[in-house]
A and B are shown apart, each in its own frame.
Chain A
């Protein structure tokens, strides 16, 4: 149980392109979803917290106009990297929390490469 599906797993695109990443909780409802960014050989850095039906809460230093987050339902959140540039290349991971004190369940990540 508690499966989180993240799609796509890998994206390679040209600079200036916008890229959408989907995060779905397959067998539970997620009141809250989280988006992380991970640089090579480093830990996960929280980018934003997404609550269903409301605006996402961004961490300090994360550009909300650059990283658009939508959490339209209890099973789907999307991250759109707008006008992506090479410095946006990274491994993006989402997680979903069923609620209360339940642990977060993570997707398999999306490797984004901007040429």
Chain B
């Protein structure tokens, strides 16, 4: 069965500093990987996704992630964060082949940007 581990439950960072949110997954088959962001009392917004092709994926709001198959990781990075990046971030892996695919989510990482 697929699983996702987000190693840090909370990450405090100063504004304009770089940040990396870690995500590792386990799967015996090929996977699709996603990062979502959740602002308070809202649903999830897709930041970026890896389906195939280039292992470096660029998303919205200046975020990027790198798929590393050998390390089964999909860490999220941003070179310079802003106060508005304060939110909960979820890494997810999709389960299944063609057609509808369930998402398995990590536990989430709360990113807090301090001025």
Q: How far is the CA of A107 from the CA of B41 in the complex (A)?
A: 11
Q: Which residues of B lie under 8 Å from residue A44 when comparing CB positions?
A: 44, 90, 103, 105
Closest 5 pairs (CB-CB, A-B):
A106-B43, A32-B100, A106-B44, A108-B43, A43-B105
User: What are 13 A-B pairs at a CB distance below 8 A?
Assistant: A31-B99, A34-B103, A44-B105, A46-B102, A49-B100, A99-B99, A99-B100, A101-B32, A101-B98, A103-B34, A103-B46, A106-B36, A109-B43
Please classify how large the interface on chain A is, using the bins under 10, 10 to 19, 20 to 34, 35 or more: 20 to 34
Apart from A42-B107, A101-B32, A101-B101, 14 more pairs, CB < 8 Å? A4-B43, A34-B103, A42-B108, A43-B106, A44-B44, A44-B103, A44-B105, A91-B41, A93-B44, A95-B44, A99-B100, A101-B98, A103-B46, A106-B45
**B45, B98, B99 interface centre (most CB from chain A within 10 Å):** B99
A97 close to B (CB within 8 Å): yes
Q: Give the contacts of B31-53 with A (CB-CB under 8 A).
A: 32, 34, 36, 41-46, 49, 51
